[in-house]
Amino acid sequence: MVANRVVAAALLSVLVAACGGSGSTAAVQPKAAGDPEALVGSWFVAAAGEEAQAILTIGGGLSLSRECGTLDGGWRANAHAMFVGDFFGGSGHCFENQRNPFPEWMTKVAGFRPDGDSELLLSSDGRTVATLTPGARSSLQPITREMRDGFAEPARLPTGVSPATADDAIGRWLPMPEDRPEGVSDKAFVKFDVNGTYKGSDGCNAAGGRYAVGPDGLVLATNGPTTLVGCDNSPLPAWPADAGRLGLRDGRLVFVDPAGKVLGEAVRA
């Protein structure tokens, strides 16, 4: 690995801490449909606290180019104008003096809408957080099949499962007793915070990212870096990013993939 790249997993706790005071972005009630494909490209970004002429590139990943170098991350969006983005690594120079370079404004973004040739990134209450202006770079970002699959409308929830809201999801959840790795007790968990951050553990590896819950249980979640310690792992922390919808059944949180298959269920801690 190139020396001036930061090991992203080591920064996960910094990112989670930085998101703590940013306000709630987990619940999204978009007013109009959006076109996620229109977001793909390189943009000049204007946002509170951001460098002048910073460039945000949205494509197979998320990158923010600044004078110090580039920050890297991931993003998710759908046709309901929901959007979540997350930075978790980047050029070493951006992390000098142990400072946290991750943009606070991105932790407030929960939606988007077009504005002429520009795109606006919005908070959950519809306020403009960042303005994306075209013309940053001439090269276009390709829209891949994987991206289009991610933009597609998920299947409906299975019979007997009701849509979950953001308020329903908030809190700490554990695997079903029969699904818990032997000997790890409640070390395997996922916790959804009110500020739009989730974190968890498979029993020995940390995971987390940003999430948003929309109408009819729609969920978008990024999946940040994780360690690779071998153990009898629980799949629970991977389910937020793999799910298309969240539901409730008998008080349990149900994770349903975009094809309508139940990934699994979790019980409140």
Q: What are phi and psi of 266, to 5 degrees?
A: -135, 150
Within the chain, which residues score under 70 in pLDDT? 1-33, 98, 138-140, 179-186, 226-232
Task: Identify the pLDDT of residue 250.
Answer: 97
Task: Identify the pLDDT of residue 232.
Answer: 65
> What is the value of pTM for the model shown?
0.85
The span from the CA of 49 to the CA of 72, in Å, is 18
Question: In 3D, which of 229, 108, 242, 246 has the Cα closest to residue 171?
Answer: 246
Contacting residues for 226 by C-beta, under 8 A, at least 6 apart? 9, 12, 202, 205, 206, 207, 237
Question: In 3D, which of 87, 52, 47 has the Cα closest to residue 70?
Answer: 87
Q: Which residue bears the tokens 């995971």?
A: 207
Token pair listed for 224: 């940040």
What is the number of other CB atoms lying within 10 angstroms of the CB of residue 144?
A: 12
Structural domains of the chain, with CATH = 8-151 (2.40.128), 162-268 (2.40.128.270)
Task: Identify the pLDDT of residue 183.
Answer: 55
- For 249-266, write each residue's pLDDT tens digit: 999 999 999 999 999 999
